Amino acid sequence: MKHISKILCIAGLLCAIACVKEEQVGEPQLEVNRNNISGEWELVEWNGNSLEEGTFFRITLVRNDGTFTIVQNMDAFPEIPREITGRYDLSEDEVYGSVITGIYDHDSGFWSHKYSITVLTSRMMKWVAVDDPSFVQLFERVQ
């Protein structure tokens, strides 16, 4: 009887933990795959801070061919947005989970970080740099 009580208690705790995790995000987590991350995303928070007013960074991830397009005005004149294209890849890592990497079409080469996608819902996606966990980007879905 004691064993059954312990098993029921552990099962209850696991259910409670699962509910708390879902509440923290506000909606159910999606599986990280090309289908679920495809679309247009806007960067809304960078390392815990909102972007300056008038500044934007949008990334469109295309499921079928693994390409991306970034339109941003963070490193150029704010009035003249810059478009950057390239390819991305998703992989699974035993330690970091779902990891997204990318390479630009122009001479800049690879993204400066590999990112673990730690949160993915229908409206929100959170990237954490694998080599620097303090580098966090929070995106909201545009389309």
pLDDT value of residue 20: 41
Cα distances (angstroms) measured from residue 8 to each of 2, 16, 46, 60, 63: 10, 12, 42, 46, 42
Cα distances (angstroms) measured from residue 38 to each of 66, 88, 140: 9, 11, 12
Name the residue with higher pLDDT: 143 or 17: 143
User: At 57, phi and psi to the nearest 5?
Assistant: -150, 115
Residue-wise pLDDT tens digits, 117-137: 999 999 999 999 999 999 999
Residue-wise pLDDT tens digits, 17-41: 444 444 454 789 999 999 999 999 9
| 3 state SS of 102 | strand
- pLDDT bucket at 74, cuts 50 / 70 / 90: confident
Cα 52 from Cα 133, distance rounded (Å): 22
pLDDT value of residue 77: 72
